[in-house]
Amino acid sequence: MNTATEERKVIDFDLPKFGKISTAHAWASVPNEPSQAERAELKAAIAAELKARDAALVAHYYVHPDLQDLAEETGGIVSDSLEMARFGRDHPAKTLVVAGVRFMGETAKILSPDKRVLVPEMEANCSLDLGCPIEDFATFCDQHPDRTVVVYANTSAAVKARADWMVTSSIALPIVRHLKEQGKKILWAPDRHLGGYIAEQTGADMLMWQGSCIVHDEFKGFELAELKKQHPRAKVLVHPESPREVVAMADVVGSTSQILKGARELDATEFIVATDNGMMHKLRAQNPGKVFIEAPTSGKSATCKSCAHCPWMAMNGLRNTLAVLKSGTNEIHIDPAIATRAKLPIDRMLDFAVKAGITASRGAAAVSSAQTGGIGPA
């Protein structure tokens, strides 16, 4: 549902097919910023609706700061996609409002089938999800029946239902190492950069689906090296969905929680951050007095497309969050057979985490000594 939105804009994303990567197109629109007075009214109205409807707001680190703050102020959570779903599963609320992108709402519904799951914007997509359609992916899997299928959280319920394992970044390395020790060959989807990083770290035999995140794929190695020269004391925090030459310059390679951890713990006051700039809100809130600089997504050879912010995450706003709470629209529904099958690879991952001693707290991964060199949740 869109209310008071700007014009739609076309978004290009990678669509792998038959061994080639073509460019496909989707759309996004961004809610207009409310005035300060309207913002306060909207936040108060949402808080009242959440309470009246026995609902919890769960928000991703990449959405608007207003939604991040409101989630925490009302007893919800700001976190990575899996912890959002896990929090929703364990929270007593009967309704979950998931501020993020559609696959996050689907994952929440898979883990909480008896709860109502609403999303502010049903058309808030993800290039990794869009770039891995189930029909093509199923064909790819059928062509390689000898491989264990491991998919990243950023996929549809249907793709998860086709997988043997689902992983977030926090547990991808130990799971892939475990599968390698068992002599398994892996079919990985959808992000080629993250998959390449995991293959390098583990030495596993991994056949890659060739998808990419439109935000992280844009970070530029040459321009990052130039920026480092301007800020020689800055530490570099990089999401592993970024290109290999960007990851190679990182002081910390990790996703949301590990980037937050690196900013807190590294002996530095200046950081260059190569991930969605929605993270800047939490980084700055947790680290007053430290300076955070966006890594470049454009340079002499190209202008940026996402400009370090997911256009679909940006579709979440206060107005459409209030609207879905009042109307009950934009409810996530998943075919029960698909949801049941999709839950298996998620449960397999969660069971592995318990046995390996890998746990997650609210909004941050707490990784035991069983996992070294790991990266944080997606």
Q: How confident is the model at residue 301 (pLDDT cuts 50, 70, 90)?
A: low
Regarding whether 152 and 177 lie in a shared domain, the answer is yes
Confidence of residue 308 (pLDDT cuts 50, 70, 90): very high
Instruction: Specify whether 205 is located in the same domain as 343.
Output: yes
Is 188 found in the same domain as 254? no
Going by pLDDT thresholds of 50, 70 and 90, the confidence category of residue 377 is very low
Q: Same domain for 187 and 250? A: no
User: Do 180 and 237 lie in a common domain?
Assistant: no
Candidate from 288-297, 299-308, 317-326 with smallest mean pLDDT: 299-308
Farthest-apart Cα atoms in the chain, separation: 60
Backbone angles phi, psi at 292, to 5 degrees: -120, 125
Q: Is 377:256 a contact under the CB 8 Å cutoff?
A: yes
Q: Each residue of 336-357: pLDDT tens digit?
A: 999 999 999 999 998 998 888 8
Banded model confidence at residue 300, pLDDT cuts 50, 70, 90: low
Residue 99 within any structural domain of the chain: yes
CB burial readout 93-130, b (16+ within 10 A) else e: bebbbbbbbbbbbbbbbbbbeebbbbbbbbbbbbbbbb
Clarify whether residues 18 and 118 are in a common domain: yes
Same domain, 67 and 168: no
**Is there a single domain that holds both residue 58 and residue 203?**
no
111/97 same-domain check: yes
In a domain, 120, yes or no: yes
Q: Mean pLDDT, the chain, as a whole number?
A: 91
Residues 46 and 146 in one domain: no
The domain that holds 73 is classified in CATH as: 3.40.50.10800
- Amino acid 97: pLDDT: 98
pLDDT for 284 beyond 60: yes
Q: Is the dihedral of CA 213, 218, 219, 220 positive or negative?
A: positive
pLDDT of 206 higher than 60: yes
Residue 376, in any domain of the structure: no
> Is there a domain that residue 2 lies in?
no
| pTM, 2 dp | 0.92
Q: Using CA atoms in the order 95, 99, 100, 104, what is the torsion angle rounded to 10 degrees?
A: -10
346 with 207, same domain: the answer is yes
- pLDDT value of position 31: 82
Is residue 1 situated within a structural domain?
A: no
**Which structural domain, as residue segments, surrounds residue 255?**
216-294
- Residue 291: beta bridge partners? 270
Could you list the beta-strand ranges (E) of the chain.
9-17, 20-28, 55-60, 77-79, 95-99, 116-118, 148-152, 165-167, 186-189, 206-208, 235-238, 252-253, 270-274, 291-294, 358-361, 364-367
Question: Using CB atoms within 10 A of its CB, is residue 134 exposed (0-12), middle (13-18) or buried (19+)?
Answer: middle
Predicted confidence at residue 302, as pLDDT, reads 59
pLDDT digits (tens, 9 = 90+) for 106-150: 999 999 999 999 999 999 999 999 999 999 999 999 999 999 999
Q: Are residues 346 and 252 in the same domain?
A: no
Asked if residue 300 belongs to a domain, the reply is no
Please give the Cα distance from 60 to 121 (Å, whole number): 14
- Strand intervals (E) in 255-341: 270-274, 291-294
Beta bridge partners of 294: 273
Q: Which backbone phi and psi does 106 adopt, to 5 degrees? A: -65, -45
- Residue 320 domain-assigned (yes or no): yes
Q: Is 369 contained in some domain?
A: no
State the total domains in the chain.
3
215-274: pLDDT as tens digits = 999 999 999 999 999 999 999 999 999 999 999 999 999 878 889 999 999 999 999 999
